[in-house]
Chains A and B, each alone.
Chain A
């Protein structure tokens, strides 16, 4: 056991090479249980309408949803910056529903980073430790450690207003991590960054979480980001949780039309008649294997095959190409079947890609068809 620990430490620069470091980090991780959380702003703005959610220790958990869905409110309740009207919150086995933020072992990376402009980067990083009463000498050592860990380099000696967006983001992350909280909360920490830097920091953030084994609760409205980063995702809408699951589960088996649309699916068709596995929609009749009992048929664009010309067969539909978006690695098609449109994504393997106006046959496997509820 000590063998593996040492091996893991080896690729963990910055953290002091003590054998029990990894264990200590792992023990830090806390689970979170939320029960019946309600929150209302003013008279008729319902931010949270009964949220029950369990987050496991050491998990990278994402709260995903459109703006106004309650995800940020939920995060603020976790931080203690907002008090729920009703319900309870347990972190690491301790009920903290009414504990003020400064007494919670939970730290937040704010969307605006909220670095203190009147303090140096070093003082920003040491702020939490100072408030906890750690002596200056120890704080200094800790700051150097975290600077090494997050690879801040010489940023530590700069002034806050000399930092770029990406640098600020990393300082904000380091400032929260340095306190070794039970849970780290991240409120859309990457939303202000440009695309390239963003995906770079996504990977970095994920690595940090894996190395520390800390519970991360991440808020985003970007489903791609959520899928890349998360162990599990909770999709929120209108202050309630729609679905909780691993990224593949949420993407491939959304429980309702909202989740499906939010995860980027457009191919949703009301089922008019069904006989066993035979489902009839505006597209025609398709055979599905284990489709569930929903009233909407979901066809994921990447499960479709496009065959040139008219090809007879089971689960084959004849369609006309209305639009083609060539994206290099793949191409996206908008197909017309009668008055109904269907999106298809086809990997570019160097074979023939149908042109606009061409007649094609759409083939879909029965096991790829799922149904869901409105």
Chain B
């Protein structure tokens, strides 16, 4: 009895082999993630709790200075600048995500109603712009929206913007840039959701006394919800941390959190403050993801919505 326990059985040998295989296959990826993600993040976290030194480089002692600065407490007392930047980031994220949904939903639906051979072409047309560099696209919008361009002149003549101000730079231009940039990320998951939908179900709903509006609400919309949530995550999280678009289209008053962080590592030179901003963004993102999961579970009837 005790003798057989001492000798490794065939089963335990197989387990050892399996563990070894697992180690070999996972190790390179884990190593990579550790070196290039975990270590820098840990370093960044450490920096956030250090003190700002000369030339913006972090130095000892440990302190909460950076977080105080982030909250707006400076040498001259409290200023709301950073708070505004945070609120602006949240607001821009919210508005652009909602607008993306409003634009993408009918587009995705329309593509599924087209003939099968045209659908890949139409999807391609949605995706193709994102193959161009983001900076180049932002410059494109600058040229379109700048003062004295036809669009700006039109907006000025109907009184949407003050004379000679143009549509760019402005918060509006940032919103537009975000919507334009993230549209494909909403269209694709929504398209996938619509494509799975059996049109007979819509007819069944109508047959079962649902008016067209209620048929949409009760039979179609719930089934597109997983796509909608996935799209929202794909749009909202990168939009929240967006740097290029507010930098180029927003001007001084269009700054978002991403720009605040970037500035601390470049121009303004305050690494601990930048690190604290990055941590704030990370926390906000996690809260957002968590909320989406909860919403997904609630609306999806307990069904896990993969994000």
Task: State the Cβ distance, B167 to closest chain A Cβ, in Å.
Answer: 42
Cβ of A118 and Cβ of B200 under 8 Å apart?
A: no
> B197-229 toward A: CB 8 Å interface, digit per residue (1/0)?
010110111111111101100110011000000
- Once A118-B223, A127-B205 are accepted as A-B contacts, the answer to whether A112 and B200 lie under 8 Å apart by CB is yes
A220 at the interface (CB under 8 A from B): no
Residue from A128, A131, A179 with most neighbouring chain B CB atoms (10 Å): A131
Question: Do the beta carbons of A110 and B210 come within 8 Å of each other?
Answer: no
Q: How far is the CB of B119 from chain A (nearest CB, A)?
A: 20
Nearest-Cβ distance from residue B200 to partner chain A, whole angstroms:
4
Contact, CB under 8 Å: B206 / A100:
yes
Task: Name the residue of chain A whose CB is nearest to the CB of B226.
Answer: A118
Q: Is A81 an interface residue (CB 8 A)?
A: yes
Q: Tell me if A112 and B198 are in contact (CB < 8 A).
A: yes
Taking a contact as CB atoms under 8 Å apart, the answer to whether B219 and A108 are in contact is: no
Asked whether any CB of chain B lies closer than 8 Å to the CB of A116, the reply is yes
Which residues from A are CB-within-8-Å of B219? 116
* Interchain nearest-CB distance for B82 vs A (Å): 43
Is B8 interfacial (CB-CB < 8 Å)? no
- Tell me which of A111, A112, A120, A127 contacts B208 (CB under 8 A): A127
Answer whether residue A132 sits at the interface, using C-beta atoms and an 8 A cutoff: yes
Bound Cα distance from A116 to B202, whole angstroms: 9
Shortest CB-to-CB span from B203 to chain A, Å, is: 5
Q: Given A101-B203, A114-B203, verify A131-B198 contact (CB < 8 Å).
A: no
A89-135: which residues lie under 8 A (CB-CB) from chain B?
100-103, 106-108, 110-112, 114-120, 127-128, 131-132
Contact B204 A114 (CB under 8 A): yes
Q: How far is the CB of B219 from chain A (nearest CB, A)?
A: 6
- B208 contacts A179, CB within 8 Å? yes
Chain A nearest CB, measured from B217 CB (Å): 11
Chain A residues touching B, range: 20 to 34
Chain A residue nearest in CB terms to B299: A118
CA distance in complex: A118, B200 (Å): 14
- Inter-chain contacts of A119 with B (CB < 8 A): 301
Task: Name B204's contact: one of A100, A106, A110, A120 (CB within 8 Å).
Answer: A110
**Cα(A131)–Cα(B201), bound, Å:** 15
Is the beta-carbon distance between A114 and B206 smaller than 8 angstroms? no
Give the chain A neighbours of B206 by CB distance below 8 A. 80-81, 100-102
CB-contact partner of A114 in B198, B209, B210, under 8 A: B198
Interface residues of B in 95-117 (CB under 8 A from A): none
Q: A118-B222, A118-B301 are in contact. Are A101 and B207 (CB under 8 A)?
A: yes
Please report which residues of chain A, range 161-214, place their CB below 8 angstroms from some CB of chain B when the two chains form the complex.
175-176, 179
User: Closest A-chain residue to B215, C-beta based?
Assistant: A102
Asked if A79 is an interface residue, CB under 8 A from chain B, the answer is yes
**B209 and A108 contacting across the interface, CB-CB below 8 Å:** no
- The 8 Å CB contact of A132, one of B204, B205, B209, is B209
Minimum C-beta distance from B172 to chain A (A): 37
A199 to B205, CA, bound (A): 29
User: Which among A100, A110, A114, A175 has the highest number of chain B CB atoms within 10 Å?
Assistant: A114
Q: List 14 A-B contacts (CB under 8 A).
A: A80-B206, A101-B203, A101-B207, A108-B207, A111-B200, A114-B198, A114-B204, A116-B205, A118-B223, A118-B301, A119-B301, A120-B301, A127-B218, A131-B208
Using A100-B211, A108-B204 as known contacts, list a sample of 20 further A-B pairs with CB atoms less than 8 Å apart, ordered by residue number in A.
A80-B207, A81-B206, A102-B206, A102-B208, A102-B210, A102-B214, A108-B203, A110-B200, A110-B203, A112-B200, A114-B203, A116-B205, A117-B223, A118-B300, A119-B301, A120-B301, A128-B208, A131-B214, A176-B208, A179-B208
A interface residues (Cβ-Cβ under 8 A, vs B): 79-81, 100-103, 106-108, 110-112, 114-120, 127-128, 131-132, 175-176, 179
Closest A-B pairs by Cβ, 7 of them: A128-B208, A114-B204, A114-B200, A131-B209, A101-B206, A118-B222, A131-B210
